[in-house]
Amino acid sequence: MGQATLALRNLLIRVAIFVLLAAILAWAVGGTLFGSHRVNFPAVDWEGREWAVQVVGNGRQPDRVRWLLVSRRGEDPWTVHPVAEAGQWRDLVGPVADQNGLRMAVASEGPGGKTWELVIFERGGAAPKRSPLPGAPMDRSLPLPN
């Protein structure tokens, strides 16, 4: 073998060891080598819990963004709730909390364009109700369903 071939083989072995050790270090500290970004929207208080929408994505593929409704009590870890969509929502308004419940409006992109839907959580932990909205919500005061 020539000197150049030995040098190239040595370099490839060192790069492989470096990537392996970097992946092990990333895993050991609780992440991944190519991690995703998490952003929490401003939280609201409702039924003794703090509620927020969390956006999770890797920044390279916009259709891989996930929207999660999360809540926590005090300093507990965030809990994910059953309104979690993968790559379907294109826009979101809310959450808004009042005596009627917790509401948020979500937009999905379909063949007919962007359609809006109102998602409502009522007191007592029932499953969320969904109802279509005729248009985009104008501000953070989301409408009540008919």
Stretch 58-80: mean pLDDT: 74
Same domain, 74 and 111: yes
Question: Is 117 within 8 Å of 131 (Cβ atoms)?
Answer: yes
Stretch 92-97: mean pLDDT: 78
Same domain, 103 and 86: yes
Q: Give me 127's structure tokens.
A: 């499953």
Say how many domains are in the chain: 2
Inside any domain, residue 140: no
Residue 76 predicted with pLDDT over 80:
yes
Handedness of CA 41, 46, 50, 51 (dihedral sign): negative
Cα distance between residue 101 and residue 124, in whole Å: 10
Q: How confident is the model at residue 142 (pLDDT cuts 50, 70, 90)?
A: low
Stretch 41-61: mean pLDDT: 76
Same domain, 68 and 111: yes
Q: What is the pLDDT of residues 111-135, one digit of tens each?
A: 777 788 888 877 766 677 777 887 6
Give residue 124's domain range: 37-133
